Structure 1
Amino acid sequence: MAASAVEKIEIDVPIKATPQQFFEVLCNKTHHISNVCPDVVKGIDLHEGDWGTEGSIISWNYVFGK
């Protein structure tokens, strides 16, 4: 059985959006984040639940330490 690791990652990404637009993408359209910063986020997959709902399980595929 594989062990999973949960860690905190921070990155500064310049965005051209209002706070409301950013919130909408981050909370309800998470799957679009890889379109916003494709050099860092390679993809986001929904494994269980629905986009934008509490308790959903998603995985982030990203480049770390570029």
Structure 2
Amino acid sequence: MALTGKLSTESAIQSPASKFFDLLAKKLHHVPNVCERVHAAKLHEGDDWHSVGGSVKHWTYVIDGKVTTSKETIESIDEKNKIVIFKLFDGDIDQRYKAFKVIFQVIENNNRSGSAKWTVEYEKVNDDVEAPYGYMEYFDKCRKEMDAHLLQA
């Protein structure tokens, strides 16, 4: 059985693609106020939430019904293609995965809405660890909540 893997999910959004992208690329600190399963987030290192490689955030959230913690840093932001790459580490992540990368992309349609795509690239610590399916369900629920929030804003 392979220790490395990749999972993806893509779903339609009704809010403007640019607003959806901005929430995760420039307003990440708002996510705990929008997503029910995100219990807390705080800046652990650095001066701001969105500098590439220059800040570390500590997150507390719920995966598969269990309160989970990890740290996160932004590896890159591609404004043109609306892609943000996050690296998750420490806490519960390190107990199950040697590497855990989340690639978030907003794909814009002609009518300014579009879809949100989440891809997780991971390396498990051993064969006994399950692929991170719970994260895919978590991202889908967050997408719905973020989309509804942006439609009301």
How does the TM-score come out when normalised to structure 1?
Answer: 0.65
Give structure 1 stretches of 5+ with no counterpart. 1-7
In the alignment, the residues of structure 2 paired with residue 60 and residue 11 of structure 1 have an alpha-carbon distance, to the nearest angstrom, of 22
Measured in 2, the distance between the counterparts of 1:61 and 1:17 equals 26
Asked if 1:45 is matched to 2:42, the reply is yes
Residue of 23, 26, 32 corresponding to 1:25: 23
Q: Structure 1 residues 32 and 11, CA, compared in 2 at 3 Å: closer, same or farther?
A: farther
Aligned-partner Cα distance in 2 for 1:63–1:11: 18
SS at match of 1:63: strand
CA contact (8 A) 1:44 1:61 kept: yes
Is 1:64 aligned with 2:63?
A: yes
Mark the structure with the bigger radius of gyration.
Answer: 2
Q: Sort the Cα spacing of 1:36 and 1:15 in 2 relative to 1 into closer, same or farther, 3 A.
A: farther
CA distance 1:16–1:35, change in 2 (3 Å): farther
Q: CA deviation at 1:17?
A: 2.6
Q: Identify if the C-alpha distance between structure 1 residues 65 and 28 changes in structure 2 by more than 3 Å, giving closer, same or farther.
A: same
User: Deviations 1:4-44 (Å, cap 9, x if unpaired)?
Assistant: xxxx9x888x8653221111110111111111112x11111
Name the amino acid aligned to 2:60.
N
Identity of aligned residues (%): 41
- One-letter identity of the residue aligned with 2:52: E
Inter-CA distance 15–61: structure 2 relative to 1 (3 Å threshold): farther
2:89 corresponds in structure 1 to: none
Change (3 A) 1:15 1:34: farther
SS in 2 for 1:43: strand
